[in-house]
């Protein structure tokens, strides 16, 4: 708009309006933008969730997660070496076990040689310096896809807690550095802490999925671990209502009081307000899980040419840092690490 138009519209000059403050000054060049950048993503912030499958020499693509595969145990060392080379601090494992091994109580979680425990041993043997985070929940082991023991239509809390505490000890014995309960049963963090300590695993940490929401964004994960077709009903009786934030704080406080060393918010991007409240309230190591559906959305839009996938990936990961995350579980971990190193 030229001077004459402005006069006609009776608008003050921009310097009068802003009091001569011009926020664009620092945005004018790459060097000044870098200088004032407040949050920076680094490879040290990345945790790589990987899917496991039985058998040998298997690298199975997951349709709803382009670029992501399930790996058989023999192929894990190569993936762990790749992660270590990129500087990724830790891997989180998620098993897709044989359907024949799944039952109503998820009993295969108590097999010391189950897929998740064999995977931990293989990774630790090949790359001892990388952190291994094992998810402890019944859903990949049950024939109904729920995270707990199902009886008469009810997910039994206390029986489930006992079983996952026992499973956590087996995971620690296999070499897991961090146990990550993702089931949302009440009291599981305290029970796992007690069980680990009693078994001499005082040094094994707990990252609790403190605030896990009953979300629609887990769809592709359920395909990846084979629970999608199995799940009867929904998980609303144990995951948090996506409408709630005070409840998320109470869950976090509870898990911390029971002994959680780190807490996680899941899903990620739609729940950054929860991350910020947790970080501001408790000042503890806080993580978020950029879940399968979030990954799929970015990949799908990028594949259609609707967004620039690489930029959206980096922007979304930076948003986690801005919200207060110390780190992010993301399927983009290797790709983001490569990008950060180049």
Q: Which residues are annotated as a binding site for Mg(2+)?
A: 251
Minimum separation from the CB atom of position 294 to ligand PBG (A): 8
Bridge partners, 328 (sequence order): 46, 288
- Point out the annotated binding site: 251
The reply on whether position 271 binds ligand PBG by CB under 6 A is no
Classify each residue of 175-210 as buried b or exposed e, where b means 16 or more C-beta atoms within 10 Å of its C-beta: bbbbbbbbbbbebbbbbbbebbeebebeebbbbbbb
- When CB distances to ligand PBG are compared, the closest residue is 221
The whole-angstrom separation of Cα 215 and Cα 222 is 12
The number of residues making up the chain comes to: 342
Pick the catalytic residue: 235, 266, 279, 299? 266
First to last CA, the chain: 42
CA distance 249 to 254: 9
Of residues 201, 218, 320, 332, which one binds ligand PBG by CB under 6 A?
218
d(CA 25, CA 295): 35
Q: How is 301-326 classified by DSSP, letter by letter?
A: HHHTTSS-HHHHHHHHHHHHHHHT-S
C-alpha distances (whole Å) from 110 to each of 85, 140, 222, 264 are 33, 12, 21, 25
Of 171, 182, 208, 286, which lies in the binding site for ligand PBG, with binding defined by CB under 6 A? 182
**Cβ neighbours around 245 below 10 Å, total:** 14
Member of 43, 68, 95, 139 binding ligand PBG (CB under 6 A)? 139
The window from 31-39, 186-194, 214-222, 278-286 that contacts ligand PBG (CB under 6 A) reads 214-222
Cα gap 84→239, rounded to integer Å: 33
Query: Is 222 near ligand PBG (CB under 6 A)?
Result: yes
Task: Output the smallest distance, CB 85 to ligand PBG, in A.
Answer: 24
User: How many angstroms from the chain centroid is the CA of residue 322?
Assistant: 17
Q: Is residue 157 at the binding interface for ligand PBG, with CB under 6 A as the rule?
A: no
Q: Which of 133, 137, 189, 272 binds ligand PBG (CB under 6 A)?
A: 137
Q: Is 209:184 a contact under the CB 8 Å cutoff?
A: yes
CB 292 within 8 A of CB 300: no
Q: Which two tokens stand for residue 329?
A: 């579980």
Span from 74-82, 113-121, 134-142, 276-284 in contact with ligand PBG (CB under 6 A): 134-142
Least distance (Å) from ligand PBG to the CB of residue 302? 18
Q: Considering the rule CB under 6 A, would residue 171 count as an interface residue with ligand PBG?
A: no
292 part of the interface to ligand PBG, by CB under 6 A: yes
Q: Does 258 bind ligand PBG (CB under 6 A)?
A: no
Tell me whether residue 212 is one of the annotated catalytic residues: yes
Judged by CB under 6 A, which stretch of 5-13, 106-114, 133-141, 243-251 contacts ligand PBG? 133-141
| Residue 316 binds ligand PBG, judged by CB under 6 A | no
Q: Which residues bind ligand PBG (CB under 6 A)?
A: 135, 137, 139, 147, 182-183, 218, 221-222, 227, 235, 291-292
Which residues are catalytically annotated? Answer: 212, 266
């Amino acid at each position: 708009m030229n001077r004459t138009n402005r006069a006609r519209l009776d608008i003050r000059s921009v310097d009068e309006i802003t009091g001569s403050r011009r926020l664009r000054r620092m945005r004018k060049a790459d060097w000044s933008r870098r200088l004032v950048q407040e949050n920076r993503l680094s490879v040290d912030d990345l945790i790589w969730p990987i899917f496991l499958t039985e058998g040998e020499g298997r690298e199975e693509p997951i349709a709803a997660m382009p670029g992501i595969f399930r790996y058989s145990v023999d192929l894990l060392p190569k993936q762990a070496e790749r992660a270590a080379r990129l500087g990724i601090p830790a891997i989180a494992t998620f098993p897709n076990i044989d359907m024949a091994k799944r039952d109503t109580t998820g009993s295969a979680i108590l097999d010391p040689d189950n897929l998740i425990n064999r995977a931990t041993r293989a990774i630790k043997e090949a790359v001892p310096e990388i952190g291994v985070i094992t998810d402890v929940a019944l859903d990949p082991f049950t024939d109904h896809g729920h995270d707990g023991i199902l009886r008469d239509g009810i997910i039994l809390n206390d029986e489930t807690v006992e079983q996952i505490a026992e499973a956590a000890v087996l995971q620690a014995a296999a070499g897991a550095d961090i146990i990550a309960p993702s089931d949302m049963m009440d009291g599981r963090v305290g029970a796992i802490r007690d069980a680990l300590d009693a078994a001499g695993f005082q040094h094994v940490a707990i990252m609790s999925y403190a605030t896990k929401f009953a979300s629609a964004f887990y769809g592709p994960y359920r395909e990846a671990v084979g629970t999608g077709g199995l799940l009867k009903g929904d998980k609303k009786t144990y995951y948090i209502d996506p409408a709630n934030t005070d409840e998320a704080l109470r869950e976090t406080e509870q898990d911390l009081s029971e002994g959680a060393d780190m807490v996680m918010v899941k899903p990620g991007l739609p729940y950054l307000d929860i991350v910020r409240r947790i970080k501001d309230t408790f000042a503890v190591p806080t993580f978020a899980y950029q879940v399968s559906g979030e990954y799929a959305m970015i990949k799908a839009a990028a594949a259609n040419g609707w967004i620039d996938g690489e930029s959206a990936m980096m922007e979304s990961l930076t948003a986690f840092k801005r919200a207060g995350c110390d780190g992010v579980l993301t399927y983009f971990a290797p790709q983001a690490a490569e990008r950060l190193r180049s």
